[in-house]
Amino acid sequence: MDRIGIVLVGAGFIADAHSGAIDADPRAELIGIVDAAPGRAAAFARKQGGIRHALDLDTALSWPGVDAVILCTPNDTHAPIGLAVAAAGKHLLVEKPLATTVADAQRLARAFEAAGTVLVAAHTHRFYDYGVAVKQTIDSGAIGRPKLVRLAILGGWIWPDWSAWVGDPDRSGGHALHNGVHLLDLATWWLGQEPTAIYARGRKQTAAELRIYDYLEMVVTYADGATAVCEMSRAHRPGSLAQRELLVAGTEGIVEQGWDGESSLVFGEAGTATLPAAGGNGFAKQLGAWLDAIGGAPPQMPVADAVRAVVLGVAVEESIATGRPVAVTA
Amino acid sequence: MTITVALVGNGGIGTQDHQSSMYGPAFERHPLFSLVDDPAAAQVLSIAVPLAERGAAIADAVRAGKHVLADKPLAATLAEAVEIERLAAEHGVVVVPAHHQRFNAALRSATAAVRAGRVGLPWNVQCDFVVAGGDPAPTGELVNFGLYPVDVVRALLGLEVRRVHATGSPDLVTLLLDHDHGVTSTIVCGRVPALRDLPPGGLAVHRYRISGSHGVLAVDARKPALQVRTTESNGLVWTGPGTVDALLDVLAAGIASGAGRAAIGPHDAVRAQRVIEAAQRSMETGQPVETGE
């Protein structure tokens, strides 16, 4: 069987996670790298053993053996680059969010449907060990009908400096779109319900001059009355102590994972830090699911769910701006 | 010389009898109190009558010059609670609403630490107060024990609640509270089914995360406790004085001070009731509601 030839677009830090996943899957082959910064593309290509590199997508799409693209560029470029990939008849795995506006997300969905190629947004937490284990526990019926999800991902680190594109809401769409969608999608997937309203609060804790909220609290209400309380933070201190906490309460029981449910704790001269367990490779599982879908299997991250995540992320920003709950329909 | 106490009533919300399960035994074992049968001869009345009758019973006791330990909630309505606050001040007696959770040993330390700046300026509190099993309250759990975590959060922050948004259901509700200085708090409060190895009505989850400008304080309020695992069971065994014992310490100190007030009083019940009633309105309208504080 021929391997799926993949081009990576964007040589930022997340590209390493994707290329590692490609290396680990015998069904995939990394053909080349595209980055608008010449030095960065060339350096990445050398690191990968001399793969092709280019400054523009059109060149890369013309390379022989290219079947698919993994897109790791700033969020505001997802729509135009994604539409070009669809027009070229290639498959796409796009970093989350699918797009920074609902209209663009829907445009991408339509384009790939028309092209007959597979579009998947990288909501990687669906493929992390904890995300899968919670989903399986809920689906097993062990806790009955879930009524509440609490999910907090608290990391003290902040983006590198003021030039980081993530801090520019025009480029990232804001923190709700950039990271918040991970939690919004995961909680919604776990619950298996349609969201009906969002109430959110945001905070610029690290610096008043931030243009995005480094702390987000996003509360989703679902059609069956369930609630999800999702906290996404880059504001918590100390930065050395990343924490993830979850609680799911159902009609027959509860599921919990505290901050120490997966991590060990290091007490050192340099401070205190959590040490996450090695566990499975979420990026590899995500890639595998995408390759499965290219082969005809049902997608584990349907396009409609990626569009819905954008709808929710946009509603979060609107709720914070207005101080009011926002009705949502995916 | 001990303080004399008479137990008045064995009712509450639904099937509750906190008098027999909590207050009576706590008074009995407390060295500063002694139980008497005749309410007229007692300095303190421990009042745990059904909620519909409670406000009037407490008001009568206060008018008779009695100090009061009042089952929670202090009264069925905000108006009744406000009247009790006024009467208590007028008659110079101590009225202690049984908001005993704030006297949990871990939470007392946490409150002192937060107020001393150990996490810098606090900017958010997250709380889960989830009871497992026991008899569901016919009023809904928001009315039944929503005031416990609301009271704890007020004590932790020393900040009143200005605005409330509530979602979920009366048996498992999420309260989103806004305080001064942009500080926010979130409380998940309610009842889930009975869980193995937990006594009926026991707390399955009771925790607080206080985030501040310079650190985070994570409190598991099911502690201090031992984890005891045997061939038959697996559970937590409380260590040290309980929260109701600590509440009686506060009552005794308030009476001894002669000032007619204790470290917790009707004003705390009034403020908690404002939040609960605002949450009820928010649940009805789907919109945030100002508390009027």
Q: How many CB atoms lie within 10 A of CB B122?
A: 26
Residue A209 lies in a domain: yes
What does the pLDDT average to over A138-165? 92
Opening angle at CA A129, ends A128 and A134, nearest 5:
105
The one-letter amino acid at B187: I
Count of CA atoms in the C-beta half-sphere (13 A) of B134: 25
Reported confidence tier of residue A274, pLDDT bands at 50, 70, 90:
confident
- Identify whether residues A116 and A168 lie together within a single domain: no
Looking at residue A227, which CATH number applies to its domain? 3.30.360.10
pLDDT greater than 80 at residue A1: no
- Right CATH number for B101-241+277-290 from 3.30.360.10, 1.20.1050.10, 2.40.50.140, 3.40.30.10? 3.30.360.10
Last residue of a domain, one of A122, A153, A179: A122
- Percent pLDDT > 70 in chain A is 99
Residue A269 lies in a domain: yes
Cα A96 versus chain centre, distance:
4
- Percent pLDDT > 90 in chain A is 89
Last residue of a domain, one of A95, A122, A149: A122
Distance CA A56, CA A64 (A): 16
Count of CA atoms in the C-beta half-sphere (13 A) of B34: 6
Q: What's the confidence (pLDDT) of residue A330?
A: 62
pLDDT greater than 90 at residue A156: no
**Is the CB of residue B134 less than 8 Å from the CB of residue B201?**
yes
- Is some CB atom of chain A closer than 8 A to the CB atom of B194? no
Distance CA A235, CA A230 (A): 15
Q: Could B165 and A215 be called an inter-chain contact, meaning their C-beta atoms sit closer than 8 Å?
A: no
- Identify whether residues A211 and A268 lie together within a single domain: yes
- Is some CB atom of chain A closer than 8 A to the CB atom of B121? no
Distance CA A27, CA A297 (A): 15
Reported confidence tier of residue A155, pLDDT bands at 50, 70, 90:
confident
User: What is the pLDDT tens value at each position of chain B, 293 positions in all?
Assistant: 899 999 999 999 999 999 999 999 999 999 999 999 999 999 999 999 999 999 999 999 999 999 999 999 999 999 999 999 999 999 999 999 999 999 999 999 999 999 999 999 999 999 999 999 999 999 999 999 999 999 999 999 999 999 999 999 989 999 999 999 999 999 999 999 999 999 999 999 999 999 999 999 999 999 999 999 999 999 999 999 999 999 999 999 999 999 999 999 999 999 999 999 999 999 999 999 999 98
- Identify whether residues A145 and A31 lie together within a single domain: no
Fold of B3-99+243-265: Rossmann fold (3.40.50)
Q: How many CB atoms lie within 10 A of CB A304?
A: 13
Strand intervals (E) in chain A: 4-9, 28-34, 52-54, 68-71, 91-95, 119-122, 146-154, 195-203, 215-222, 227-233, 243-250, 254-257, 263-268, 271-276, 326-327
What does the pLDDT average to over A81-92? 98
- Identify whether residues A213 and A270 lie together within a single domain: yes
Q: What's the confidence (pLDDT) of residue A116?
A: 98
**Is the CB of residue B223 less than 8 Å from the CB of residue B210?**
no
Q: What interhelical angle do A78-87 and A102-115 show, nearest 10?
A: 10
Q: A69 to chain B nearest CA, in Å?
A: 41
- Identify whether residues A266 and A197 lie together within a single domain: yes
Number of domains within chain A:
2
- Identify whether residues A133 and A89 lie together within a single domain: no
- Domain segments of chain B: what residues? 3-99+243-265, 101-241+277-290
Contacts of B126 in chain A (CB under 8 A): 152, 231
- What is Dmax (Cα atoms) for chain A? 58
Position with higher pLDDT, B103 vs A271: B103
Contacts of B158 (CB under 8 A, 6+ apart): B115
Q: What's the confidence (pLDDT) of residue A240?
A: 81
Between A and B, how many residue pairs show a Cβ–Cβ distance under 8 A?
92
Give the residue numbers spanning the domain of A30.
4-122
Looking at residue A16, which CATH number applies to its domain? 3.40.50.720
**Is the CB of residue B79 less than 8 Å from the CB of residue B55?**
no
Contacts of A232 in chain B (CB under 8 A): none
Distance CA A183, CA A125 (A): 8
pLDDT greater than 90 at residue A2: no
Contacts of B209 in chain A (CB under 8 A): 152, 245
Distance CA B170, CA B173 (A): 6
Q: Could A249 and B192 be called an inter-chain contact, meaning their C-beta atoms sit closer than 8 Å?
A: yes
Distance CA A78, CA A89 (A): 16
- Is some CB atom of chain B closer than 8 A to the CB atom of A217? yes
Q: Could A236 and B211 be called an inter-chain contact, meaning their C-beta atoms sit closer than 8 Å?
A: yes
**Is the CB of residue B13 less than 8 Å from the CB of residue B49?**
no
Contacts of B124 in chain A (CB under 8 A): 203, 215, 217
